[in-house]
Chains A and B, each alone.
Chain A
Amino acid sequence: GAGVSQSPSNKVTEKGKDVELRCDPISGHTALYWYRQSLGQGLEFLIYFQGNSAPDKSGLPSDRFSAERTGGSVSTLTIQRTQQEDSAVYLCASSLYAGGVEQYFGPGTRLTVT
Chain B
Amino acid sequence: DAKTTQPPSMDCAEGRAANLPCNHSTISGNEYVYWYRQIHSQGPQYIIHGLKNNETNEMASLIITEDRKSSTLILPHATLRDTAVYYCIVRVSSNFGNEKLTFGTGTRLTIIP
Contacts and interface: CB of A to CB of B under 8 A. Distances in A.
Interface of A: 4, 31, 33, 35, 41-45, 48, 50, 55-56, 59, 91, 93, 97-108
B46 A103 contact: yes
Contact of B100 (A56, A102, A104, A108): A56
Interface residues of B, number: 21
Contact of B95 (A44, A59, A98, A102): A98
Interface of B: 42-46, 49, 87, 92-97, 99-106
B87 A42 contact: yes
Nearest to A108: B43
Chain B residues touching A, majority SS = loop
Sort A-B residue pairs by CB-CB distance and give the 5 closest, nearest first. A105-B43, A43-B103, A45-B100, A102-B46, A42-B103
Contact of A97 (B42, B46, B95, B100): B95
Given A97-B95, A98-B95, A43 B46 contact: no
Given A48-B100, A59-B100, A42 B93 contact: no
B43 A101 contact: no
